Amino acid sequence: METFNSWRTWDEARADLEREPPVPGPARNAIDLPALERAAEAAVRWHGDQTRPTGVPYVEHLLEALEALVRGAGETRTEVLSAVLLHDVVEDTDATVGEVEEAFGPVVAELVDWVTKPPAGSPGRQAKRAAKAAYLRRLRDAPPEAIAVKLADRVSNVQRLDQMPPDFQRRYYAETVTYVIPLAEGHPWFASWYADWRERYAHLR
């Protein structure tokens, strides 16, 4: 199972993308690095000093998702790649969809909006889980570009699932199998990656 954790900072990602365009053939030079850099800088600014549950800077998660989209799925479209870098800014920072649209345009804003989990209507763990399940079900109606962003996001979250607490592993495995893997239909690279991942973590069934 391929993992994506080569880029810890945007400077590392940019240097790699400049040195070795990741997509062969006619699209190999199609990535708009200046535009992508603007998105990376905005994500770093909005997320500030936030960290992942493992304690690493939040930007590392965003770059893992970006790497999965570029090096795995072969995505080169600026709007999709920008959206994956910005996919958590509305959910996890004080940024708004309107601010994303003003800075990056309506397409990026729409993709970010699709993958933004709305807050639970009621307090408590059960309400949060119900709200998340409803959000994941809603993604079935999302455009393919938004689904690709979500699939890349989840690749980052599950590629090292064995480093998480055991109870979380089983719950997150079940959630991914139930709600996320079906979204990969129509996305051949992601479907193949998640098939390998599912086999790697089959003991969690």
- What residues form DSSP beta bridges with 51? 57
Burial degree of 107 (CB within 10 A; 0-12, 13-18, 19+): middle
Residues 83 and 111: beta-carbon distance below 8 Å: yes
Question: Is 92 known to be catalytic?
Answer: yes
3-state class (DSSP) for residue 51:
strand
Question: Is 75 known to be catalytic?
Answer: no
Catalytic site residue from 16, 32, 60, 92: 92
One-character DSSP codes across 96-120: -HHHHHHHH-HHHHHHHHHTPPPPP
**In angstroms, rounded to a whole number, what is the distance separating the alpha carbons of residues 149 and 81?**
8
Catalytic site residue from 12, 18, 41, 91: 91
Residues 2 and 154: beta-carbon distance below 8 Å: no
> Which of 68, 28, 18, 36 lies closest to 192 in space, CA to CA?
68
Catalytic sites, residue numbers: 91-92
